[in-house]
Structure 1
Amino acid sequence: MPPRRLVVWCPDWPVVAAVAAAGLEPLTPAAVFVANRVLACSETAREHGVRRGMRRREAQGRCPDLVVCEHDPARDARLFEPVVMAVEALAPGVEIVRPGLVALPAKGPSRYFGSEVDAAERIVDQVAAQAGAECQIGFADGLFAAILAARSGVVVEPGGSPEFLAPLRIDEIDHPGVERGELVDLLRRLGIRTLGEFAALSATAVSTRFGRDALMAHRAARGEEERPPERRPLPPDLTVAENFDPPVDRVDAAAFAARALAERLHVRLGELGLACTRLGISARTEHGEELHRMWRCAEPLTPSGTADRVRWQLDGWLSGRRGAERPTAGVGVLSLHPEEVVGAGGLQLDLINSSTGAADARAGRAFVRVQGMLGPDAVLIGVLGGGRDLRDQVRLVSWGDERRPALEPDRPWPGRLPAPSPTVLPDSPWPAVVLDADGLPVEITDRQRLTAAPDRVLVAGGRSRAVSGWAGPWPVSERWWVDAGARAVVRVQVVLEAGEDGNEVALLLVHEDERWWVQGAYR
């Protein structure tokens, strides 16, 4: 029988944290979006028909007053720290499953407070008093069953987890932190609608037909732990630590050092063929103040996932949020302690991709070393996103930071140029002059048409080149209904005759503010 768990769940935590960070009223209809879909929404938004997984346009159509919030895991973890401290004040062994959800062994609190119901009441009161947050408590055998029990606010009797799970919808195996939407869709097409129907399948059939992840979901649906209870013994010398001299008191500095520390840990784990699923993170100041947190992960941690959890934990502590007393000195020692490891077989790449994965890992370690010498902004990577303008579609972020596009990529973006994109984008658009066959400037009419066909193009700093072909114009009017931020441009593609090297060049020309500019070149 799996161990009995107590789970504390704060409903809709991503949107609760977003509303609190923005200083909005708690009853404001709001939703947090990821990839243009609802990740979490407030109760007032649900009253208008907004649901998790709904597209942004549909959600705003159902609730015109909906406040749109971007997903920010660091914000969620930072504001969740007071809740963790409130629970920890009553019961030891708290493990953070994700911001908004913590788990701990049920045996200690239930014995200390007399019963599981009494323990739940005390924790709910403590979280409300110290952290100002609402929460629900669930007891069950196994983590998955306890999470669903917390969402219903019930106590599942010992040994009753399979019966409790059986009538629940198969959608429950697809939850934040473990994306199983494709598996859910496949099971539905096969006629499996409940967890009980899924649990009735044999483990062998699930493993051979659906794979390793589905087998973990199958174990959870049967009321067992997702991973078998047998754990590998921890090898010696897995703990990694870093001493700071001088101590660091800024979150960004500590988080930067955590990246290198996470790399060291995962290199060591990789040498032993292991992966970490339960990680302890400890920080100690030069005055002896210490904060230790345990993080439980649905999937084995990666170096970036480890660094993120260090940043989340320190952000809430060093910023001194409500319920979390700010330390009186900077962090002098930061250490990572793997508490639970599994074989890394599930992380091994196949024969074809193994060399590529090793090369990526080596490149990542090299980037971290360069950042250590030159600073976080010394290594930048491009993140593709949405937008009509070419410059809006690429955002440069520091290596190791969250790769979030500036604009949502899956919006329609009418007026966006089709592929292929220009191969050269100047740092700033080049001024240009477009002439017709009579040598007169080509202008744009009120109806956004060209006054004549382009015949020659003169780019600043170069000589004029004859035009052998052109296409367009493609007008774009953005925010035309307001004065501030309104933008009207006309784009034209031209092909220039071959130069001395014998190669043709195509240009993307943009007419804006009554002038022509070269925004990109095709080579």
Structure 2
Amino acid sequence: MNPPIRLLAVWCPDWPVVAAGAAAGVPAHLPAAVFAANRVIACSPAARVAGVRRDMRRREAQSRCPELAVFAVDGGRDARLFEPVAAAVEELAVGVEVVRPGLVAVPADGAAGYFGGEQALAERLIDQVAARAGVECQIGIADGLFGATLAARRSAIVDLGSTKDFLAPMGIGVLRQQENDRGELVDLLHRLGLRTLGAFAALTERDVLSRFGHEGLLAHRLANGLSERPPHRRRPSPELSAFIEFDPPLERVDSAVFVAKPLAERFHAGLAAHGLACTRLGIYAATEGGEELSRVWRCAEPLGPHGIAARVRWQFEGWLNSGTRPTAGVVRLRLDPEETIEGDSLQLGLWRGGAVGGSSEQDEQAGRVLDRVQGLLGPESVFTAVLDGGRGPAERARLVPWGDRREVTSPPEMPWPGRLPAPSPATVFAEPVPARVVDVAGEPVALTRRRELAAPPSVVVLPGTRPRQVLDWGGPWVAEPVWGEPGGQVRIQALLAGDPALAVLLTGTYQEIPEWTVEGVYD
């Protein structure tokens, strides 16, 4: 087997929350966290001091740190603000590859020889990133990207040929990466008693392949300190590149978004026709003033059209919205497959359109219309809904910008205690509407510690309307898993008298003086 190359990884800890705080103007010393599907995916050091941890639910995180600044996950924002970091590294070392926002890799040998050794290079890069981009980073050097990434998290320089020994004592959970979670494989290895990378690496490749399949074999290579992929990579021919020229020159991000998707689809289709898939994407642009802009993105998994378009969009946001903005508009954009692998898993189906595989003509036409609207109004102007898991309708519907991957972050089929029964409200308010719910005596309907209503609801008063009699009601259903403390919530459905009658979803909050809001309205 070919040995992995010597790589240097530059890692900016907690980058999603660093970028979110910088975009919102929140000082870095304040507690902050980025959430996806109501779970923490990144948090600041101040938040960790207060007890906030990754994968913690939003409610628990805010109970531990009430002053926590809350941000939503935004891959475009993270990539745009990371461009100055990549540019700072590129000033000292050639061959910079963006693995993901917050992590870049660069071949270590050439730059280390120029600056007098790997330790000297690491020190220069730390100072360079701090001076040019204003952020802290950690450096790791090892054989292969996997080892270098883990070395960066420990600020370690691993001796040549010692990466396997460096990895051996680490827990098997480090095989989980942002680009490839490998959750099921890691759980299986843990149940089988293979708790460390060293124990997993001790197995033979034949046994690993027969028991864990191709995914297990790639993970086994990582545990042995080898390359992320087998060495039979193919250097693509020049005709597989895709390019487009702009007249007039392109100077706005929304215009870049408009051209990114069709160019990405053409680029991907050209590779697929040759049975290939891209694992390292080169994005090259030329400006009207003669400037050359370039960046290489390294990916753990083969890129599809959406992944390619997303990286083009992120890169243009970084070029056009950063402090290193080019002095003239972009006149030419080229996508190069810097590295490819066999694309067996990307083989197209035999049938296209209709109900059997592929997209129908109506879907493609609708997609072109949404692309056009997005190109006119900007990348954050068009959204589609993804149905996630959750207890209430507002939790289950998640809006995704058009063109981004529509991934389910919280599986709907998982058990959700207290889930609201079907049907869901036709209209769900972005901000719940305050309401007053009283019993027959005219007293506010309170909630008991047994998660019940203290009295049946009799009248509901909505803002700006006359009181409405409650004709019928159902529930309550627990909206929050934590009960018995102020802030716990339940939901009830109520049919209100009127012409016409009105069916609403009401949410009550458990506290000394109960609060009620209208979360949604049924047709």
1:237 matched residue in structure 2: 239
Q: How does 1:368-387 map to 2 (within 5 A)?
A: 368-371=367-370, 381-384=384-387
Work out whether 1:510 is the aligned partner of 2:485.
no
Could you say if the C-alpha distance between residues 208 and 182 of structure 1 is closer, same or farther in structure 2, counting changes exceeding 3 Å? Answer: same
Q: Which SS does the other structure have where 2:386 is aligned?
A: strand
Match for 1:105 among 107, 110, 113? 107
- 2:218 corresponds in structure 1 to 216
For residue 38 of structure 1, report the CA deviation from its aligned partner: 1.8
* Compared CA separation, residues 18 and 412, structure 1 to 2 (3 A): farther
* Structure 1 residues 408 and 3: CA distance shift in structure 2, 3 A: closer
1:149 is aligned to 151
Match of 2:421 among 418, 426, 442: 418
Counterpart amino acid of residue 227 in structure 2? E
The answer to whether the Cα contact below 8 Å between 1:476 and 1:490 also exists between their aligned partners in 2 is yes
Between the two proteins, the alignment pairs up a number of residues equal to 465
| 1:338 equivalent in alignment to 2:337 | yes
CA distance in 2, matches of 1:289, 1:363: 41
Displacement of 1:411 after TM fit?
12
Identity of aligned residues (%): 53
Cα deviation, residue 319, structure 1: 1.1
Label 1:410 to 1:493 Cα distance change in 2 as closer, same or farther (>3 A): farther
CA deviation after TM superposition for structure 1 residue 364, in Å: 6.2
Equivalent pair of 1:36/1:410 in contact (CA under 8 Å): no
Q: Which amino acid aligns with 2:36?
A: V
CA pair 350-199 structure 1, distance change in 2 beyond 3 A: farther
Q: Which one-letter code corresponds to 2:147 in the other structure?
A: A
Alignment correspondent of 2:6: 4
Cα 1:225/1:511, change in 2 over 3 Å: closer
Equivalent residues in 2 for 1:153-232, closer than 5 Å: 153-232=155-234
Could you say which residue in structure 2 is the equivalent of 1:265?
267
Give the aligned partner of residue 84 of structure 1.
86
**Conserved in 2, the CA contact under 8 Å of 1:279 and 1:338?**
yes
Q: Is the 8 A contact 2:257 2:374 kept in 1?
A: no
Distance 1:408 1:229 in 2: 36
In the alignment, the residues of structure 2 paired with residue 357 and residue 35 of structure 1 have an alpha-carbon distance, to the nearest angstrom, of: 31
Conservation of the 8 A alpha-carbon contact between 1:393 and 1:406: no
1:362 to partner: Cα distance: 7.2
CA 141–415 in structure 1, closer or farther in 2 if over 3 Å, else same: closer
> Which is further off, 270-279 or 31-40?
31-40
Offset at residue 79 of structure 1 (A):
1.0
Given that 2:84 and 2:322 are in contact with CA atoms closer than 8 Å, whether structure 1 keeps it comes out as no
When structure 1 is superposed on structure 2, of 218-227 and 369-378 the one drifting more is 369-378
Deviation at 1:64, TM superposition (A): 3.1
Stretch of structure 1 that moved more, 106-115 or 393-402 = 393-402
Contact kept in structure 2, 1:14 and 1:71, CA below 8 Å: yes
Aligned-partner residue type, residue 9 of structure 2: V
Change (3 A) 1:15 1:351: same
Per-residue CA distance 1:342-365 (angstroms, 9 max, x = gap): 111234589999997841497765
1:170 and 1:265 map into 2 onto residues whose CA distance is 37
* Deviation (angstroms), 1:414: 9.4
Greater mean alpha carbon deviation, residues 205-214 or residues 413-422: 413-422
Letter in 2 for 1:333: R
Tell me the residue number matched to 1:472. Answer: 473
Q: Deviations over 1:360-419 (max 9, x none)?
A: 497765444344566658986433357888688546666314658999989999987412
Q: Which moved more, 1:122-131 or 1:238-247?
A: 238-247
Determine the C-alpha separation between the residues in 1 that align with 2:74 and 2:521. Answer: 33
Q: Which range moves more in the overlay, 61-70 or 97-106?
A: 61-70
User: Which residue in the other structure is 2:301 paired with?
Assistant: 299
Distance 2:193 2:70 in 1: 36
Answer whether contact 1:385 1:407 (CA < 8 A) is retained: yes
Aligned-partner SS, 1:288: coil
What one-letter code is carried by the residue in structure 2 that aligns with 1:329? A
Q: Is the 8 A contact 2:352 2:358 kept in 1?
A: no
For the pair 1:55 / 2:57, whether they are aligned, the reply is yes
- Tell me: CA distance 1:373–1:3, structure 2 relative to 1, closer, same or farther (3 Å): closer
Give 3-state SS (helix, strand or coil) of 1:211's partner. Answer: helix
Letter in 2 for 1:11: P
Q: 1:446/1:365 Cα in 2 relative to 1: closer, same or farther (>3 Å)?
A: same
Do residues 135 (structure 1) and 137 (structure 2) align? yes
Q: In 2, distance between residues paired with 1:351 and 1:508?
A: 50
**Paired residues for 1:372-411 under 5 Å:** 381-384=384-387, 394=397, 399-401=402-404, 403=406
Q: 1:73 pairs with 65, 72, 75, which one?
A: 75
Change (3 A) 1:391 1:27: closer
From 27, 33, 36, the equivalent of 1:34 is 36
Q: TM-score, normalised by structure 2?
A: 0.78
Q: Distance between the aligned counterparts of 2:220 and 2:409, measured in 1?
A: 38
Question: Partners of 1:353 and 1:49 in 2: how far apart?
Answer: 52
Shift of the 319–352 alpha-carbon distance from structure 1 to 2, 3 Å rule, reads closer
Aligned counterparts of 2:293 and 2:174: Cα–Cα separation in 1 = 33
2:44 & 2:495 partners in 1: Cα distance?
47
Cα pair 1:476 1:488 within 8 Å, conserved: yes
Tell me the alpha carbon deviations over residues 135-158 of structure 1, each in whole angstroms, 9 at most, x when there is no partner: 111111111111111111111111
Aligned to 1:501: none
Instruction: Quote how far apart the aligned CAs of 1:488 are.
Output: 12
**3-state SS, counterpart of residue 7 of structure 2:** strand
C-alpha separation between the residues in 2 aligned to 1:451 and 1:50?
Answer: 42
TM-score by length of 1: 0.78
Query: 2:229 aligns to what SS in structure 1?
Result: coil
Considering only aligned residues, what root-mean-square deviation do their CA atoms show, in Å? 4.0
Whole-Å separation in 2 of the counterparts to 1:444 and 1:242: 72
Runs of 4+ aligned residues of structure 1 deviating over 6 Å after TM superposition are 349-357, 361-364, 377-380, 386-389, 404-416, 424-427, 475-478, 487-490
**Could you tell me whether the CA contact under 8 Å between 1:450 and 1:473 is conserved in 2?**
no
Gaps of 5+ in 1: 428-442, 453-469, 479-486, 495-506
Residue 382 of structure 1 aligns with an amino acid whose one-letter code is A
Cα drift, residue 48 of structure 1: 2.7
Cα 1:387–1:180 shift into 2, 3 Å: closer
Of 114, 117, 131 in structure 2, the residue corresponding to residue 115 of structure 1 is 117
Q: Could you tell me how far apart the structure 2 residues matched to 1:75 and 1:206 are?
A: 39
Separation in structure 2 between the aligned mates of residue 22 and residue 289 of structure 1, nearest angstrom: 31
CA distance in 2 between counterparts of 1:133 and 1:42 reads 13
Corresponding residue for 1:309?
311
Question: What is the Cα deviation at residue 219 of structure 1?
Answer: 0.5
Q: Mean Cα displacement is larger for which, 372-381 or 206-215?
A: 372-381
1:126 aligns with 2:125: no
Aligned twin of 1:14: 16
227-236 or 299-308, larger mean C-alpha shift: 227-236
Deviation of residue 50 (structure 1)?
Answer: 2.4
- Computing the radius of gyration from Cα coordinates, the structure with the larger value is 1
Moved more, 361-370 or 219-228: 361-370
Q: Note the C-alpha offset of 1:225.
A: 0.6
Name the stretch that deviates more: 229-238 or 191-200: 229-238
User: Residues 136 and 410 (structure 1 numbering): CA distance in 2 closer, same or farther, change over 3 Å?
Assistant: farther
* SS of equivalent to 1:7: strand
Q: Which residue of 2 aligns with 1:93?
A: 95
Distance 2:458 2:117 in 1: 84
Q: Distance in 2 between matches of 1:164 and 1:426?
A: 52
